[in-house]
Amino acid sequence: MENTMFPVKWCGNERVSAEQNSEAISRVFPSGISRLARSFHQQIPGYQISPLKSYPHLAAMLGLGGIWVKDESQRMALNSFKILGGSYAIYRVVKSILGFDHEEIPFTQLTSSEVRAKLGGITFAAATDGNHGRGVAWAAHVMNLRSVIYVHKFTSKARIDAIASYGADVRVVDGTYDDAVRQANIDAQQNGWQVISDTSWEGYEDVPRWVMQGYTTMCSEIQEQLAGQGIVKPTHVFVQAGVGALAASVIGFYHQLFGTNDPVAVIVEPDKAACLYHSAKLGDGQPHSFSGDLDTIMAGLACGDPSPLAWSILRDCADMFLSCPDYVAAKGMRVYGVPLKGDPFIVSGESGAVTLGALMFIMERPELADLRNKLGLDRKSQVLLINSEGNTDPNHFRRVVWDGAEPVPSEYKEYN
């Protein structure tokens, strides 16, 4: 019988070696797109490069050459990378409406009264676990446009309040995140709203593609920051996944830049919402839904339906899929919050910390030696992690970090 509490379940991707040139990469991430996305983001008031933090002492303890953490908790005071995708997608939608598909327009023009008059009463709609909706609401607010954001019934009041603080009409759906996605689309069709979603479906790919392209600003920043440390690229990238948009963006960026010499790509999901791991296990190359109530502390990753657009990239280019219980993310939060002497402190939310937790278990558990070897993790490895969110749910954050919620089971504790 499978041990459901084991810290890491894993599934290799047999397709990755057969796909030397991914058509999906070329379609979603054409040459130069990250430069255009970053050029847009640099015009947004308050834009700054988020920090890339080094963990040399933890890396040495784990037997790695280096651990690098892109800290998106400091992204434009919004506590998450999601603003990059939502804002860029709205920008591209507005450009399309105005007939500027093949030319760039400055941010100041985008927020002008003239543009608002041309757009009329446009409303942006989105479904969210919290961070994506907050980013869409913020971008709409900056342009003085209306937004309607759909959340599922497990969404915390803190996340709802953060979205509403930007003037959004927040609607709670009695169901999961995937139910919220469906309801947002139904209502948008009935009301003539523009859906800004990070997940795709048949006939709806442009906006999710623009969202994913927006995320590459983060990756181009990382490459600049690594270059400043004399590192050409990471050897390994661990990326958390919900519908897969962030993971596909990071992996797509590196594959477009380095081809088959790209970093070893590892996808990490909660075991209660492991739609990509489940799809990889089935092995037919198709995306598959993951059933259940998706009740994980990793709210930003609580997705049961993969984005087909993101899956087309992960199917071709991801090396390994991992599934982890909630205590893995909780451990990562605590390690970020109480680092080894000389390593930096990071405020990391549940969805932001699971990759660190997974990496630590892989490097420390003897039962995972085979996975460690398959990934080639050793003292030459330079591992990139992304802290995708900060403290977006203060009450739950304190339950984990202060009160010790979701403790590591005694049989998997390294330090008793």
Summarize pLDDT for 231-257 with one digit per residue, the tens.
999 999 999 999 999 999 999 999 999
CA-nearest of 194, 257, 185, 248 to 220 is: 257
Q: How confident is the model at residue 273 (pLDDT cuts 50, 70, 90)?
A: very high
Can you tell me the mean pLDDT for 344-357? 97
Residue by residue, what is the 3-state secondary structure of 25-86? HHHHCCCCHHHHHHHHHCCCCCCCCCCEEECHHHHHHHCCCEEEEEEHHHCCCCCECHHHHH
Q: What per-residue confidence (pLDDT) applies to 115? A: 86
**Within this chain, domains 9-80+207-412 and 82-204 share the same CATH topology:** yes
The answer to whether 169 touches 149, Cβ cutoff 8 Å, is yes
Does 371 or 114 have the greater pLDDT score?
A: 371
Per-chain mean pLDDT for the chain: 93
Q: What per-residue confidence (pLDDT) applies to 78? A: 84
Does 415 or 54 have the greater pLDDT score?
A: 54
| Block residue for tokens 């948008």 | 188
Q: What per-residue confidence (pLDDT) applies to 270? A: 97
Can you give the residue ranges of every domain in the chain?
9-80+207-412, 82-204
The answer to whether 252 touches 211, Cβ cutoff 8 Å, is no
Active site members: 82, 129
Q: What per-residue confidence (pLDDT) applies to 198? A: 92
Q: How confident is the model at residue 218 (pLDDT cuts 50, 70, 90)?
A: very high
The answer to whether 393 touches 349, Cβ cutoff 8 Å, is yes
Dist. CA 344–CA 367, nearest whole Å: 29
Beta-carbon contacts of 150 under 8 Å, excluding residues fewer than 6 positions away, are 125, 126, 127, 128, 133, 170, 171, 172, 173, 180, 181, 183, 184, 187
Q: What per-residue confidence (pLDDT) applies to 15? A: 83
Summarize pLDDT for 313-329 with one digit per residue, the tens.
999 999 999 999 999 99
Does pLDDT of 155 surpass 60?
yes
Tell me which CATH code domain 82-204 carries.
3.40.50.1100
Can you tell me the mean pLDDT for 201-224? 97
Can you tell me the mean pLDDT for 212-230? 97
Element counts in the chain: helices (H) and strands (E):
17, 11
What's the pTM? 0.95
Q: What per-residue confidence (pLDDT) applies to 280? A: 96
Taking the mean position of all CA atoms in its chain, how far away is CA 204? Answer: 20
Summarize pLDDT for 353-401 with one digit per residue, the tens.
999 999 999 999 999 999 999 999 999 999 999 999 999 999 999 999 9
Looking at 78-87, 110-119, 266-275, which range is the least confident one?
110-119
Is CATH 3.40.50.300 what the domain over 9-80+207-412 is classified as, yes or no?
no
Q: What per-residue confidence (pLDDT) applies to 181? A: 93
Round to the nearest angstrom and report the end-to-end CA distance of the chain.
Answer: 27
The answer to whether 322 touches 266, Cβ cutoff 8 Å, is yes
The answer to whether 177 touches 129, Cβ cutoff 8 Å, is yes
Q: What per-residue confidence (pLDDT) applies to 3? A: 65
Q: What per-residue confidence (pLDDT) applies to 1? A: 42
